[in-house]
Structure 1
Amino acid sequence: MRPPIASLVVLLLVVAALTMIGLDGIHAERVPQAVLDGEQQIAADTALSMRTTIDVEASTVRRTADAYPATSTSTPATALKALTSARKTVLGSALLDPHTGKLLAAGGKTVPLAGLDIARTASGHGAIPPRLVTSSGARQLVYFAKVTLPAQQEDANQDQNQVQSQTERQWLLVVSEALPAPTAYGAGRTADMLDASGTALATTAHGKASPAAADSGLPSAATRAAKGSGRDTDASGSLLGAATGSRRTVAGWAQVASATGPGDTDDLGLVVLTSHAVPATTADADYSGFALKAAGALAVLALLLGLALHFSVQRPLLRLYLSAGRLARGATEDGPIAWEELSRPVPVHGFGELARIGRALESLRRQLLGESGPQEFPHRRGPGYRALAVVGVVVVACWAVPMIFLLNRADTANAVPAPVLAVQQTRTEIATNRIRQSLDQSYTDLSDAAASLPGRSRAAQTEVLRHALDDHKQYRSLYLLDRSGGITLRVGDTPLRTLVHVPGGGGITTVNTSGRIPAIAAYAQVRAVKGKTSAAGVVLFGEIDVKALNSILPRPKLGSVWVTDSDDKVLAASVGYRAFQSLPESGLARLARATQGAPGTAGTATSRVLRTSSGPSVDAAAPLAQSGPTARLGWHVVTAEPAAALQIPAVQAEQRTMLAGILGLTLSAGCLGWLHVVVIRPLRAVALLVERLAGGDRRTVLHPVNHDEVGSVTRSLELMRQALAERDRAARSGHVGEPSRSLRENTLQR
């Protein structure tokens, strides 16, 4: 009996303390933490884009070198021209002897090789990461790749070791390109690329923005923080810059380094720094007064409820327990002790079940004394202790329900600061650009494969497609269509397509409208060769594995991300989804449609705070493409981040207020339910049994179920039942009134 009541009081007091601590700790800052976190994530997203750009370029240089069809008669000059002539981003190139560093051929501007140990650089067996070098005062990236040459058979009698040595002969391809400049997203934002010393290598501003270098402390602070975080991680952080009037500069930094172990950008020491001037918050958010009132009200309720249960349940039950034990001793003993125990009336305490048990015990006492016979009790009874438990829950609910549904509710329109909303839109644009680059690269890779198919035999075409499938993991299937739409050649998994069409040109499209997996595909035309039989297929399709697309969508603190088609049906998502399903909220679909511009325009990104079933949500949408192979599809990228995940004072207050109400209501219901199970329900059963016993039922054996106060009362009742049953048997055998005479004699003696 005591543990449920004590637990109820203690737990409610704990909830009151947590309410006080949680709400009193919410304070509005001049620059909300959510804005700082958002700028940090923008820098991290920008660094990821930079890392992806450098990784793709390094992979392209290596793949071009691996695919070069070198022969024993190839010369360095012809090989260099073939390797670099199609690449417009190349500033300078060179072929070197990897063992001696001797220059074999050069093209374009002079490649800055000063300070590079060519022999040591080329001595490893793995891929050679790019280097950051200086040329004419400008920083450039130098990419490396090994070109393997076949053996030159100069002597047919040379031994096997010499043949093996000649087979492994290589050249080292060195390509210099300009350092890619970071893209600045969001009006008024600046993006800087910093080297390890904090020097700005490239700066980009979006709209009217002052470079971050104007705040001279930010670049050095960013590079110091990056050095302290380690070189092989994608560490990031945020900084506060100088204040100008009512605006404060907020900066984010992130390393351009691999997030999953050694990568091409780890040794470059590059850091992305983004900065943006935001208006300082002037609103005062002080919840200490509310916290004190709410916690005090709950503490008072807890103490009053505990006192009510103590005086109405605990003390009456303890007295009843003592009275039942006294009557049991009087029923089982003889002489003066029995009379002393049975002579005192049973006091009736409390109400409900305890009052019923007390009245029935008094009737049993008189029956044991022989003063009365069995007594019938009315079937209609008043409210019992179950009603008391319900009233206790209702009393706590009067405090909890307003906390959950009414108090400190965040205003959907004004709870989220404008800079936080702008951050969500900016990050959505960055995600859109990342997805667009991935799809554009898939189309470019497929176009390269399609360009190598004309004039080849079927076996050669199959080999080309197999190499393309192995080199580009984003494809799940590559296949050629003839003019009727039939598949003439396929490598990889079974195609998912359900639409049979032969489109013109090239681009990105979907080739199914139903099923478990959306089939997004890149396609390119296979040109015919003059004077030769037309190719077996006229269009090359590459179905993109939707898992590869889904893997690039999740980003920290961006929330859920969806790629939708022109009908707002989901094609890819960062969370679990069903193909071609609608967006989870109708407001998200309206937001996606709001990005559509006038006919012939690409549309613009937009953002909004929407009220959902789980609270306010910071949402944004952006058109997928403004140009390129995906421009005419009408696809969108939609993001939704619960405002509860952002450190916004109004939303934090709503969340913690609701949590306090839920905790208070749940714990009180649990403790009172516990009291009902271990005390109230057994009391109801005992009250029914003792009334039957007092009414003359001597056959029902009373078995104690619990080892507590109620169980002790049950055991005492069983002893009284046995005594009354023995007296009834004695009465039937002709010794009527013997127990009563014995008690009277004891009375006279006293």
Structure 2
Amino acid sequence: MRPPIASFVVLLLVVAALTVIGIGGVHAEPIPQAVLNGEQHIAADTAQSLRTAIDAEASTVRRTAGAYVATDTSTPATTLKALTSGSKSVLGGALLDRHTGKLLAAGGKTVPLAGVNAKAAAEHGAILPRLVTSGGAPQLLYFARVTLPAQQDPDQDQNQAPSRAERQWLLAVTEALPAVAAYGDGRGVEVLDTSGTKLATAVHGKASPAADSALPAAAARAAHGSGSDTDASGSLLGATTGSRRTVAGWAQVASATGPGDTDDLGLVVLTSHATPATTTAADYSRFALEAAGALSALALLLGLALYFCVQRPLLRLYLSAGRVARGAGQASQDWPAASSELSRPVPLHGFGELTRIGRALDALRRQLLGESGPQDFPARRGPGYRALAVLGVLVVACWSAPMVFLLNRADTVSAVPAPVLADQQTRTEIAAGRIRQSLDHSYTELSAAAAGLPGRSRAAQTEVLRHSLAEHKQYRSLYLLDRSGGITLRVGGTPLRTLVHVPDGGGITTVNTSGRIPAIAAYTQVPAVKGKARAAGVVLFGEIDVQALNSILPRPKLGDVWVTDGREKVLAASVGYRAFQSLPNSGLTRLARATQSAPGTTGTATSAVHLTSSGPSVDAAAPLAQSGPTARLGWHVVAAEPAAGLQIPAVQAEQRTMLAGILGLSVGVACLGWLHVVVIRPLRAVAVLVERLAGGDRRTVLHPVNHDEIGSVTRSLELIRQALAERDRAARSGHVAGPSRPLPANTLQR
């Protein structure tokens, strides 16, 4: 009996303390934490885009060098020209001998080769890209190995036998840093080296990257202090200008998933944006104290009510039942002693079941004294302790229900600060840029594969496609179409293509409109062989594995992200989805349409706060259609992040208020339910049995279920039943006129 009552009071007091700690700790800062976190995530997203661009370029340089087929007439100069002339991004190139490090050929701008160990690069694998300075401008130096036949060794001594070992040269090319894009009006982006020197900048709108000169050095120090955490990121607060303060985010460009091409560069991305400071202060400490005080008062009042209405009356009943049982046991041996035990009436305490048991117990006492016979009890009874438990739950619910449904409700629109909504839109634009970057890369690689097909045999073409499929994991299938749309050559998985068409030009498209998996494909025309008629409308298709796109979309605190086509049907997503399904709610669909990203137009990103079943959701949509192979798609990228996942003071206060209410109600239901199981329900059962016993039922044995107060009362009643049964048997046999031989008080007889 005591544990559920004590636990009920103590746990309600604990909930009150948590209410003070949780809700009282919510404060509205001039710059909300959600804004700082948003800027940090924007920097991390931008760093990932830069990392992807560098990795893709390093892979392209290595692929180009690996695909080069040297001939007997190949010289360092012709080899270098063949490897670099096809790329517009190459500023300068050089070929080195792996044994001596000797410069064999050079072209374009001078390539800084200080510290390059060509022999080590050839023996231990490719050298990672390096950050170099040429002509005062920062550049990236990429490396790749070029393998030549044995007879191509230009250093072979004419008097020695020809060596049959393959020979390797080292290709080194310099390129400018990949361009970084700034999204969000008034935001600046800077790429820094390890010392905080600016290497590249980008500005969107009227932002000035140099508005706070201390931020680059602070970001470099923070990145350096992150140690071995290669994907570290963070946020900074800059100078205040008027009512606006600069909020900055920084992130390392180094690979976050293991060794990568950007690990040795030491690049840091710094984003900054001037944000208006919040002037309205929100302090929930007073509300927390009032709510906790009310709950504490309820806990103490309910605890006292349970003590005076349940615990103390039950303990007194336990003593009275023991006294009557002792009197019944002593009746045949020591009648005066038994009479003194039985002469005192059983006091009635409490109400409901305890009153019923006390009244029936007093009737049994009188029957033991021979003052009365069996007694009937009314069938209709007043409210019992079950009603008390329900009333206790309702009292707690009177505190919990307003906490859950009414108090500290966050307004759907005004609860989310405008900078947080703008950050969600910015991050959605960056996500669209990552998807566009991936699709552009797929198209570029497919075009490179198509350039190696003309004039080759079918077996050679098959080998080219197999090599391309092995090199680029984003493809699931590569195939050639003739003018009629039939597949003439295929490598990889079975095509998902259901649309039979032979498009002109090249780009990205979908090749099915239904099925379990959306089929997104890059396509390009196969060039005609010089001097011959153009091939019969041959087009190379590369179906892109949708999982490759799905893996790009998830980002911390961006929420659920979908890629939709022009009809707002889902093609890829960061969460589970069905192919070509509609967006989860009409608000997201309207948001996607509001981008006005019809095929051939750039469209405009947009954002809004929508109220969903789980609370406010910060949603944004950005068009994918811009220049390049994705320009004619009319696709969108849509993101939805529940406001509950962001550190917004109004939303935090609502969440914690609801949590306190739920905890309070759960404690009330659990503890009072526990009291009902271990006290109230057994009391109801004992009340029925003792009334039957007082009504003359001597055959029903009373079994104690638990070793507690109610179990002790049940054992006492069983002793009384046995004494009455023995007396009745003796009376019927006519041997004795008074109480029968006593039964042991510490045993039960059946």
With normalisation by structure 1, the TM-score equals: 0.95
Measure, in 2, the Cα distance between the counterparts of 1:302 and 1:578: 50
Structure 1 residues 140 and 364 mapped into 2: Cα distance closer, same or farther (>3 Å)? Answer: same
Q: Which residue of 2 aligns with 1:304?
A: 301
Q: Which residue of 2 aligns with 1:745?
A: none
Q: Which residue of 2 aligns with 1:748?
A: none
130-139 vs 474-483, greater mean Cα deviation: 474-483
Structure 1 residues 600 and 270 mapped into 2: Cα distance closer, same or farther (>3 Å)? Answer: closer
Cα displacement string for residues 87-117 of structure 1 (whole angstroms, at most 9, x for unaligned residues) = 001111111212222221121122122x223
Task: Show the 5 A alignment for 1:524-673.
Answer: 524-529=524-529, 538-596=538-596, 601-673=601-673
Measure, in 2, the Cα distance between the counterparts of 1:666 and 1:503: 63
Task: Show the 5 A alignment for 1:29-178.
Answer: 29-113=29-113, 115-119=114-118, 122-152=121-151, 166-178=164-176
Q: Which residue of 2 aligns with 1:21?
A: 21
Instruction: Please state if 1:233 is matched with 2:236.
Output: no
Structure 1 residues 66 and 347 mapped into 2: Cα distance closer, same or farther (>3 Å)? Answer: same
Cα displacement string for residues 521-579 of structure 1 (whole angstroms, at most 9, x for unaligned residues) = 21222344477698688222211111111111111111111111222222111122222
Task: Show the 5 A alignment for 1:231-630.
Answer: 233-334=230-331, 335=334, 336-529=336-529, 538-596=538-596, 601-630=601-630
**Superposed displacement of residue 59, structure 1:** 0.8
**Superposed displacement of residue 182, structure 1:** 2.2
1:632 partner SS: coil
Q: Quick check: 1:99–1:118 contact (8 Å CA) kept in 2?
A: no
Structure 1 residues 119 and 452 mapped into 2: Cα distance closer, same or farther (>3 Å)? Answer: closer
Q: Quick check: 2:482–2:539 contact (8 Å CA) kept in 1?
A: yes
186-195 vs 521-530, greater mean Cα deviation: 521-530
Structure 1 residues 741 and 589 mapped into 2: Cα distance closer, same or farther (>3 Å)? Answer: closer
Q: Quick check: 1:231–1:257 contact (8 Å CA) kept in 2?
A: no
Structure 1 residues 683 and 245 mapped into 2: Cα distance closer, same or farther (>3 Å)? Answer: same
Measure, in 2, the Cα distance between the counterparts of 1:741 and 1:245: 100
Q: Quick check: 2:347–2:358 contact (8 Å CA) kept in 1?
A: yes
| Structure 2 unaligned residues grouped into runs of 5+ | 743-750
1:267 partner SS: coil
Measure, in 1, the Cα distance between the counterparts of 2:408 and 2:171: 65
Measure, in 2, the Cα distance between the counterparts of 1:121 and 1:220: 34
Structure 1 residues 532 and 123 mapped into 2: Cα distance closer, same or farther (>3 Å)? Answer: closer
2:150 partner SS: coil
Measure, in 2, the Cα distance between the counterparts of 1:168 and 1:658: 72
**Superposed displacement of residue 154, structure 1:** 9.4
Task: Show the 5 A alignment for 1:671-682.
Answer: 671-682=671-682
Measure, in 1, the Cα distance between the counterparts of 2:597 and 2:492: 39
Letter in 1 for 2:516: R
Structure 1 residues 338 and 533 mapped into 2: Cα distance closer, same or farther (>3 Å)? Answer: farther
Instruction: Please state if 1:203 is matched with 2:207.
Output: no
**Superposed displacement of residue 138, structure 1:** 1.2
Q: Quick check: 2:187–2:203 contact (8 Å CA) kept in 1?
A: yes
1:739 partner SS: coil
Measure, in 2, the Cα distance between the counterparts of 1:376 and 1:527: 107
Measure, in 2, the Cα distance between the counterparts of 1:154 and 1:62: 21
1:269 partner SS: coil
Measure, in 1, the Cα distance between the counterparts of 2:305 and 2:161: 100
60-69 vs 699-708, greater mean Cα deviation: 699-708
Measure, in 2, the Cα distance between the counterparts of 1:452 and 1:598: 35
**Superposed displacement of residue 741, structure 1:** 13
Letter in 2 for 1:656: R
**Superposed displacement of residue 500, structure 1:** 3.1
Letter in 1 for 2:278: T
Q: Quick check: 1:488–1:536 contact (8 Å CA) kept in 2?
A: no
Cα displacement string for residues 205-247 of structure 1 (whole angstroms, at most 9, x for unaligned residues) = 1111112x33221111111111111256011111111101101
Letter in 2 for 1:145: A
Q: Quick check: 1:36–1:238 contact (8 Å CA) kept in 2?
A: yes
Instruction: Please state if 1:224 is matched with 2:221.
Output: yes
1:312 partner SS: helix
Q: Quick check: 1:188–1:277 contact (8 Å CA) kept in 2?
A: yes
**Superposed displacement of residue 144, structure 1:** 0.9
Measure, in 1, the Cα distance between the counterparts of 2:502 and 2:344: 104
Q: Quick check: 1:410–1:654 contact (8 Å CA) kept in 2?
A: yes
Letter in 1 for 2:317: L
1:152 partner SS: helix
Letter in 2 for 1:116: G
**Superposed displacement of residue 699, structure 1:** 1.0
Measure, in 2, the Cα distance between the counterparts of 1:91 and 1:204: 21
Measure, in 1, the Cα distance between the counterparts of 2:703 and 2:329: 18
Structure 1 residues 225 and 599 mapped into 2: Cα distance closer, same or farther (>3 Å)? Answer: closer
Measure, in 1, the Cα distance between the counterparts of 2:35 and 2:443: 37
Measure, in 2, the Cα distance between the counterparts of 1:98 and 1:298: 79
**Superposed displacement of residue 121, structure 1:** 5.2
Cα displacement string for residues 444-487 of structure 1 (whole angstroms, at most 9, x for unaligned residues) = 21122223222222211211111010000001111223333333
Q: Quick check: 2:603–2:625 contact (8 Å CA) kept in 1?
A: no
How many residues align? The count is 737
**Superposed displacement of residue 254, structure 1:** 1.0
**Superposed displacement of residue 192, structure 1:** 0.9
Q: Quick check: 1:92–1:176 contact (8 Å CA) kept in 2?
A: yes
637-646 vs 497-506, greater mean Cα deviation: 497-506
2:739 partner SS: helix
Letter in 2 for 1:269: G
Measure, in 1, the Cα distance between the counterparts of 2:96 and 2:69: 18
Q: Quick check: 1:412–1:616 contact (8 Å CA) kept in 2?
A: yes
Structure 1 residues 281 and 232 mapped into 2: Cα distance closer, same or farther (>3 Å)? Answer: closer
Measure, in 2, the Cα distance between the counterparts of 1:512 and 1:180: 34
2:639 partner SS: strand
436-445 vs 538-547, greater mean Cα deviation: 538-547
Cα displacement string for residues 185-207 of structure 1 (whole angstroms, at most 9, x for unaligned residues) = 11111111111111111111111
Q: Which residue of 1 aligns with 2:719?
A: 719
Q: Quick check: 1:72–1:149 contact (8 Å CA) kept in 2?
A: no
Measure, in 1, the Cα distance between the counterparts of 2:294 and 2:598: 57
**Superposed displacement of residue 170, structure 1:** 1.1
Cα displacement string for residues 321-371 of structure 1 (whole angstroms, at most 9, x for unaligned residues) = 111111111112231222121111111111111111111111111111111
Q: Which residue of 2 aligns with 1:183?
A: 181
Structure 1 residues 531 and 65 mapped into 2: Cα distance closer, same or farther (>3 Å)? Answer: closer
Measure, in 1, the Cα distance between the counterparts of 2:460 and 2:657: 69
**Superposed displacement of residue 712, structure 1:** 0.9
527-536 vs 69-78, greater mean Cα deviation: 527-536
Measure, in 2, the Cα distance between the counterparts of 1:719 and 1:741: 13
Q: Which residue of 1 aligns with 2:747?
A: none
Letter in 2 for 1:586: S
Q: Which residue of 1 aligns with 2:746?
A: none
With normalisation by structure 2, the TM-score equals: 0.95
Q: Quick check: 1:232–1:257 contact (8 Å CA) kept in 2?
A: no
**Superposed displacement of residue 599, structure 1:** 8.0
Question: Alpha carbon RMSD of aligned pairs, Å?
Answer: 2.2
Structure 1 residues 740 and 730 mapped into 2: Cα distance closer, same or farther (>3 Å)? Answer: closer
**Superposed displacement of residue 498, structure 1:** 3.0
Measure, in 1, the Cα distance between the counterparts of 2:592 and 2:722: 81
Structure 1 residues 6 and 549 mapped into 2: Cα distance closer, same or farther (>3 Å)? Answer: same
Q: Quick check: 1:62–1:144 contact (8 Å CA) kept in 2?
A: yes
Measure, in 2, the Cα distance between the counterparts of 1:141 and 1:598: 37
